[in-house]
Chain A
């Protein structure tokens, strides 16, 4: 079984979308890297030079076992140990909704990375809307599998919310892919997409492109 197979098995369709964007030989900082699966994939598929950031002991140990570079630190403490523009990409996959200091972390990522890739579950998916509107309960489906009482998610938002956030903060959206069951969604993505993948940059640099 290849790592690509395992990624599909792990249900991380966003990993392939991310890998498609990452240039060969790029330097990557993966925040909340888990056991290092994405970094290993990027190392193999893109010859990336990567480092993960993780807080949970067991995951740090798993990274070390997997031969993935990992720095144990609390994301919520910020990225002050990392210099500005010191990585080609800073990645945060399916974690933005689970951090407390969302805005601060995103801004810090844009400082450290020349580009930022974030992925998040879309709270605006029709299933969620139906469940709230007609079921009268908090949405529970594919990319948002948790009950209200056991969810690690503290900030739930939609694709539209995130677009507005980026526009208000002067964050340039370089590219966006919205997925549903691993397939791209082009028609009404905020309604039919369950997982959003964004490539971002500080607007100030965008002018040069």
Chain B
């Protein structure tokens, strides 16, 4: 049996990274029937693509994140990639071995073409005219990026949450282009409760007087209040009750309660801070688009609501991971995916990590979780060789 590989060098950062931009001139047909004539995608890569181009790993992002997955920017060293603890030299996804690609999805607000980009036809931001995009559309756009980077096949696609849904979709849309799919903290489709939370977030944005039907750019404003609320409600769903209690309890900002409606409790302060911060950098239309992509994600829908039938095309080896305290996408939702993979007799391993952090656990340091991902990538490397 395989012993753990020799102790790798102490994990470290990939260091200063530089984002790149790729332009696509061929129209991208979307699932809705609409199409995007031309678009650009921001991406980052870490590590070196080997001569056989067999060591590429795609890491799609979830709701709030971007192509900046690991490392930092030389001119902004505090801007560290969102999965920097997972990816880098000596880390579970080891950039000494793998060529890692992070990409900002179509419709995003970190440089890829999205609602805040200028529509070449009008010379104004797309705003409300930007089409609704789906997980399938993102995956198709990512596949084109892979083509241009000369990557015929990804050794692995790894994602958490909405990123995991993209990994799953990759295995369905491009079965022969994915070696392994790491599907972490995922669900095969949103529940009514999940959609309900998204709808509250969207309503917060669209009912903000500064929303202007999505064309707020022309008015020189952003629906900040709506974005704040959207972020606050989202944030609550990312944390477990226990984690929140552990972190904040009923701690007060002041010595005693104030008998007012301003901040009394630490948790209120925290949520407001998160909301404020988010509303300064995230585009409201992108938030609408991404939550809608989540709502619409349902690969079984085209297969008579049979997830196993949807996955019958897949060829990848799967690692499915859930976290016990995740109530947003609970372990039971991951087990639905596992069941469908088992029904197809696909290679699948499933781990249920006993972690207290809720949905956010997929972004946290956890020795068992990291060791699991590391073990999986040892196999990915073996399959590559």
Contact = CB atoms under 8 A, between A and B. Distances in A.
A binds B: yes
Interface of A: 3, 6, 27, 35-37, 40, 49, 51, 57, 60-73, 81-83, 86
Interface of B: 1-2, 4, 319, 335, 338-339, 342-343, 345, 347-354, 368, 371-372, 375-376, 378-379, 382
A67 B1 CA distance: 10
Contact of B345 (A27, A71, A73): A27
Contact of B4 (A36, A65, A70, A81): A65
B2 A65 contact: yes
Contact of A64 (B345, B351, B352): B351
B93 to A, nearest CB: 14
Contact of B349 (A6, A35, A70, A81): A70
Contact of B347 (A65, A69, A72, A81): A69
15 contacts: A37-B1, A51-B342, A64-B376, A64-B379, A65-B378, A65-B379, A66-B1, A67-B2, A67-B382, A71-B338, A72-B350, A81-B335, A81-B338, A82-B342, A86-B342
Given A6-B1, A65-B2, 18 more contacts: A3-B1, A35-B1, A40-B1, A57-B354, A60-B349, A61-B372, A62-B1, A64-B372, A64-B375, A64-B379, A68-B349, A69-B347, A69-B349, A71-B338, A71-B350, A73-B352, A81-B335, A81-B339
B351 to A, nearest CB: 5
Contacts of B338: 71, 81
A60 B338 CA distance: 15
B375 A61 contact: yes
B368 A64 contact: no
The 6 closest A-B pairs by CB, nearest first: A65-B375, A64-B375, A71-B350, A57-B368, A72-B351, A70-B349
Nearest to B373: A64
A36 B382 CA distance: 17
Give the interface centre of A6, A65, A68, A86 by most chain B CB atoms within 10 Å. Answer: A65
Contacts of A72: 350-352
Contacts of A6: 1
A207 B7 CA distance: 56
A25 to B, nearest CB: 11
Contact of A71 (B4, B349, B371, B372): B349
Nearest to A63: B349
A69 B348 contact: yes
Contacts of B335: 81
A39 to B, nearest CB: 11
Given A67-B379, A71-B350, A73-B352, A60 B2 contact: no
Nearest to B338: A71
B350 A66 contact: no
B364 to A, nearest CB: 16
A65 B354 CA distance: 19
Contacts of A81: 335, 338-339
Contacts of A35: 1
Nearest to A83: B343
A3 B2 CA distance: 11
Contacts of A36: 1
A61 to B, nearest CB: 5
B319 A64 contact: yes
Nearest to B339: A81
